[in-house]
Structure 1
Amino acid sequence: MEIKSLDERLSVTAQPQLEELEQLAVQGFCTILSNRPRGESEDQPDPDALKSKAESLGMVWHQVPVKPGEYSQADIEAFEHILSNSRKPIIGFCRSGKRVTDLWALSQARHRPVPELIEAAQSAGYDLEPLRERLEQQASQAVRRS
């Protein structure tokens, strides 16, 4: 399992298997955030079994299930709420880690410069360039709200 850091609060990985949750607990992760909808693929582990195992290891489990590229403002805000209010460090996952990275950047665009987010994602191996316009829109909403 490859784990990549997006910032001091959140790391990202691809779909963990049930037996890999112990490794996440040993590495000190306190919260797990899943962005995969139930039944997304045949080989996807049962989310209920993952949640039960995570909780038995003392980790908190959250879900914001989204389809790739389909992020509502409610999804972004739910992700930001979990990021802001959960025990750290947090590990987020989806099939590949891309949705976690996208939602992280969208949730942070009102608080951090977009180029900084794009660079952090790129350092972790994820390309946010296709999302740049939407990230800029999120950033501009923060300016209007101030």
Structure 2
Amino acid sequence: MTIRPPAGIGRFAAGEQPDAVDLAQLAAQGFKAVVNLRQAGEVTRAFDPSDEGQLVTSLGLDYVHLPIAVEDLSAATVSAFRERVSSLPGPVYVHCGMGQRAATLALIVEAEASGTAAAEAITAVELQGLSITPKVKNFIASYLNSRLAA
């Protein structure tokens, strides 16, 4: 996996579950923190969150485990994510199993900060090769549109 620290305004890069080699590469590439959104016991590409946390901190990076399921995406989960990551040094790699939850939360927080429209934010994520289901796209659009209208 080759992930570059985000350029410009964004503090986040989002993607799938890294392995031990990927985590070492993230540290070498200048990332300062890792946020794991996976729930303990997720079956695909399992890497126990406590083992991951130990490895990440041994590499000199900050680590946050904030388990969130796709079906739990809500304004409250966005708020919890924003609160947990606000004090982390950047750049920050946010991951889940396949990248959808990570991309969703990272793009919402960045889009809110920059005033980016929902469609533009979703397109930016898809250009990075991450898939977002129609249900999650609708959540992103609804959330961002309601925030921008307020």
TM bucket normalised to smaller = 0.7 to 0.9
Q: Distance in 2 between matches of 1:43 and 1:104?
A: 21
Structure 2 gaps, min length 5: none
Structure 1 gaps, min length 5: none
TM-score (norm 1): 0.82
Report 1:4-23 matches (<5 A): 8-23=10-25
Deviations 1:2-25 (A, max 9, x none): 437776311123211234322111
Q: Distance in 1 between matches of 2:22 and 2:58?
A: 13
Q: Percent identity?
A: 26
Residue in structure 2 matching 1:120, options 124, 139, 147? 124
Cα distance, 1:120 vs structure 2: 0.8
TM-score (norm 2): 0.80
Instruction: Indicate the residue corresponding to 1:3 in structure 2.
Output: 3
SS of the equivalent of 2:123 reads helix
Does the CA contact (< 8 Å) of 1:13 and 1:94 recur in 2? yes
Instruction: Indicate the residue corresponding to 2:141 in structure 1.
Output: 136
Q: RMSD across aligned C-alpha pairs, in angstroms? A: 2.5
State the one-letter code of the partner of 2:47: P
SS of the equivalent of 1:85 reads coil
Aligned pair count reads 145
- Could you list the runs of 4 or more consecutive aligned residues of structure 1 that deviate by over 4 angstroms after TM superposition? 4-7
Q: Distance in 2 between matches of 1:70 and 1:10?
A: 21
Cα distance, 1:107 vs structure 2: 3.4
Structure 1 residues 128 and 44: alpha-carbon distance in aligned structure 2, compared to 1, 3 A threshold: closer
Cα distance, 1:138 vs structure 2: 1.6
Structure 1 residues 42 and 98: alpha-carbon distance in aligned structure 2, compared to 1, 3 A threshold: closer
